[in-house]
Structure 1
Amino acid sequence: MLQSKLFTKTERTFPKDEEAANARFLERAGFIYKNSAGVYSYLPLGWRVIQKLVAIIREEMDAIGGQEMFMPALHDKRYLSATGRWDVDVVFKVLDGKNPKPAFSLSWTHEELITELASKYVHSYKDLPFSAYQIQTKFRNEPRAKSGLLRGREFMMKDLYSFHRDEEDLDRFYDIVKEAYFNVFKRAGIQAVYTLAAGGDFTSSNTHEFQAICPVGEDTIYVCSKCAYAENKEISKLSGGGRCPKCEGKIKEEKAIEVGNIFPLGAKYSDAFDLRYTDEKGEKNPVVMGSYGIGVSRLMATVVEMYHDEKGIVWPESVAPFKVHLLELAGASASPAEAGRKSAKKIYEDLQKIGVEVLYDDRKASAGEKLTDADLIGLPFRLVVSPKTGDKIEVKKRNEEITKIMSFEEVIKLLGN
């Protein structure tokens, strides 16, 4: 992509109303735009990151048999009323223009809808197990939307739901999803900690969260330094400096960001919507369910919180909007500048031909401005072409301070293409 054609621009200063690093850098670098508190637009660069994350999540969900679908974001009141969740604080309620009281809600989760939907198709034990997921916008009426994309009123989420004949089969699939989630976070550059947690508004049972240890995290977890067993402070009887109940290792108190969660739902929603199956003996039984979420936009924010320096974002290669930032730096005289310009264009075209994603800074801007923007945007590789480099290319990794002069062939080898 030609940077001169990118309709968004970087800013010289950070937004004054943002404290979280993810919001400060993403807004300044032109990845997102703040429409109102907790509500953001994803600009072209930001949307490319979201799509990289979505692709990773989709691959891992498909690999465990998840069937992708899409459900409405506008929910009739009867759904949440059936499970007693209509009056949960975070629900956005919507008037339909006919009745004085809200008749609909904006989705913050989809257990009710998919349970009713499943009741149309599940009748026999032969119809089980199965799992279905979607990647969709969700809404939470957060009283204090803060921390950028970490806690928003509108956000993107992947929610997976599984349906089983008994708890034993749910436990089997629960472990499969657990491993798939570890794969997602590892591929996104995040080391997640599997953490015992409360069920909240979803279930009365204990559940599990995937927590990324980070100083700005809103959650406090206790984690074993030896076996990595962890509990959320909200339910834990552990304390920092204590001993692990599993291996007697030392417990550390850590701040963390919740990037995913998995819930064993039992028959709570099946009972509410009469979701039952007939077993081999002809007896009716409630379907046992599980629910599994990953906040896609929150995951993007977490990556920025964990991968940035004073100059800007340092994107992991797997989720970067582009792999390469190609900079054309012009010299003082016309002819060397023109020579450098042709060289950069040729490199851009050749990289595209072999499938390298390139953001080509072809703008008529100063070298200082281009280099500053490259650090701020944070693509994994920076290639500089100028009259000084001649027929070579100056190469720098965003997460390293060393610059090297290489031939095009050496650059291709470095990029792994």
Structure 2
Amino acid sequence: MRVSQLFTKTSKTAPGDEISKNAQLLIRAGFIHKEMAGVYTYLPLGKRVLDKIIQVIREEMNRVGGNEVSLTALQPKDTWEASGRWSDEVMDVWFKTRLANGAELGLAPTHEEPLTKLMKSFISSHKDLPVYPYQFQIKFRNELRSKSGLMRGREFWMKDLYSFSRSEDEHNEFYQRMSDAYDMVYRRLGIGDITYKTFASGGSFSKYSHEFQTVSDVGEDTIYIHEGRRLAINEEVYNDEVLADLNLNRDELIEKRAVEVGNIFTLGTRFSDAFDLNYTDENGDSKRVFMGSYGIGPSRLMGLLAEHFADDKGLVWPKNVAPYRVYLVSIGENGSREADRLYDELTREGIEVIYDDRDERPGRKFADAELMGIPYRLIVSDRLVESGQLEIVDRSSGEQRLLTAPEVLAILR
């Protein structure tokens, strides 16, 4: 991608009503555009980051046997009345509307009901189980507070997987596999060391659920961490009973602020009861399907990564989710000719490169590279062309090196 072909531009300022650091930086760097509180458009650079985060999650979901689907956002009233969750008094985040004929619809805030209803067409025998459908989809929730940028939106991206098992034991085995898969996602995104499996309320489904909480000063949750066991307790269930269940003492735990980046729930037969989802076992007996749900918000993760790794110059993306691996800067007439040739070579090698070919001051180009958070900046100038060298700068460490083209390629491959 050439910067001259990119319609977006960087800015020194963010909207005055945007108070979250992640959204301020992402807007200034040209990654997102704010439509209204809690609602953002993903621009070309931001879409590339979001897609890469989604791909990391997709690979781990496929690794545990997930089947990717795409469910509808528009939901009929009767589907949700079957579970009792159409009422605003039961679930108060609905966006609802009507068809021209007066029929009520809602924009799905989650998908337990429609997917359970769907699976009645595909599950009848023990041979049909277990099965693990999942999707990436935009969700809609009428949040009262949307002041945390991408970390709390009214319209946001969610990965939701639902497990359909023959028994609680079979479910529990998969539940642990999903916990391990989530750990792998966070490690791959560079936040594994500060993300903790956290005991939280199971609501009406089970005694406990588990959240994955990433330690951050901007977090809305308070958790209590046992570093040695790599687990935590959410403040909402921090009491003597839970401590006893986990064989923990208060003086072993450290209080921290954190951002919830995922959750896993045991649903049991809550929804299979509501939709009469059964299977026939090996003996010909009818049994209820046992369910679980597992959520990760890719857009929330994008906001967290933007905020967590940023410095005073701008964004600093982990290499595997950065929109491009290298920001190529040309300076001078000979530098531009060599940069053109190098851009073609990097592209042929399959290296993701954004080439700043604008007629701009070098300082402006450098500042934009730093604001965008591209892992490497590669400088080609008249002086460097004469010496047969290139200057490569590591965005994270700031390290600058003068290298030959083959040496640079070896780093970027």
TM-score range, shorter chain: over 0.9
Q: Which of 267, 276, 282 is the aligned partner of 1:265?
A: 267
* Match in the other structure for 1:199: 202
* Match in the other structure for 1:338: 333
Following superposition of structure 1 onto structure 2, how do residues 3-402 of structure 1 map, counting pairs within 5 Å?
A: 3-86=3-86, 87=88, 88-99=91-102, 103-191=104-192, 192-200=195-203, 203-237=205-239, 245-246=246-247, 250-329=252-331, 337-390=332-385, 391-402=388-399
Question: CA–CA distance in 2 between the matches of 1:356 and 1:70?
Answer: 31
Query: Which amino acid in 1 is paired with 2:353?
Result: V
1:199 shift after superposition: 3.1
1:15 shift after superposition: 2.5
Question: CA–CA distance in 2 between the matches of 1:349 and 1:270?
Answer: 56
Question: CA–CA distance in 2 between the matches of 1:285 and 1:92?
Answer: 35
* Match in the other structure for 2:410: 413
Contact map agreement 2:206 2:266 (CA 8 A) in 1: no
1:141 shift after superposition: 0.3
Question: CA–CA distance in 1 between the matches of 2:207 and 2:152?
Answer: 24
More off after superposition, 204-213 vs 47-56:
204-213
1:73 shift after superposition: 0.3
Contact map agreement 1:264 1:289 (CA 8 A) in 2: yes
Query: Which amino acid in 1 is paired with 2:109?
Result: W
In structure 2, relative to structure 1, the CA distance for the partners of 1:253 and 1:117 (3 Å cut) is same
Question: CA–CA distance in 2 between the matches of 1:375 and 1:189?
Answer: 19
Identity value in percent? 47
Give the TM-score of the pair, scaled to structure 2. 0.95
Question: CA–CA distance in 1 between the matches of 2:207 and 2:357?
Answer: 56
Runs of 4+ in 1 over 4 A off after TM superposition: 242-245
In structure 2, relative to structure 1, the CA distance for the partners of 1:362 and 1:228 (3 Å cut) is same
Question: CA–CA distance in 2 between the matches of 1:296 and 1:401?
Answer: 28
More off after superposition, 385-394 vs 303-312:
385-394
Query: Which amino acid in 2 is paired with 1:177?
Result: M
Query: Which amino acid in 2 is paired with 1:119?
Result: K
Question: CA–CA distance in 2 between the matches of 1:343 and 1:203?
Answer: 62
* Local SS of the residue matching 2:101: coil
* Local SS of the residue matching 2:132: strand
More off after superposition, 120-129 vs 202-211:
202-211
* Local SS of the residue matching 1:346: helix
* Local SS of the residue matching 2:120: helix
Contact map agreement 1:229 1:244 (CA 8 A) in 2: no
1:247 shift after superposition: 5.8
Contact map agreement 1:205 1:264 (CA 8 A) in 2: no
Question: CA–CA distance in 2 between the matches of 1:104 and 1:357?
Answer: 43
Q: 5+ residue gaps in structure 1?
A: 330-336
Question: CA–CA distance in 1 between the matches of 2:317 and 2:379?
Answer: 19
* Match in the other structure for 1:333: none
1:243 shift after superposition: 11
Contact map agreement 1:209 1:258 (CA 8 A) in 2: yes
In structure 2, relative to structure 1, the CA distance for the partners of 1:414 and 1:124 (3 Å cut) is same
Give the TM-score of the pair, scaled to structure 1. 0.94
Question: CA–CA distance in 1 between the matches of 2:359 and 2:375?
Answer: 23
* Local SS of the residue matching 1:9: coil
Contact map agreement 2:377 2:395 (CA 8 A) in 1: yes
Question: What does the per-residue CA deviation read over 1:57-111, in whole Å, with 9 as the maximum and x for residues that have no partner?
Answer: 1111111110111110000011221112112111111122333xx7111011100
1:133 shift after superposition: 0.5
Question: CA–CA distance in 2 between the matches of 1:69 and 1:404?
Answer: 46
Query: Which amino acid in 2 is paired with 1:230?
Result: A
Contact map agreement 1:29 1:377 (CA 8 A) in 2: yes
In structure 2, relative to structure 1, the CA distance for the partners of 1:262 and 1:153 (3 Å cut) is same
Q: 5+ residue gaps in structure 2?
A: none
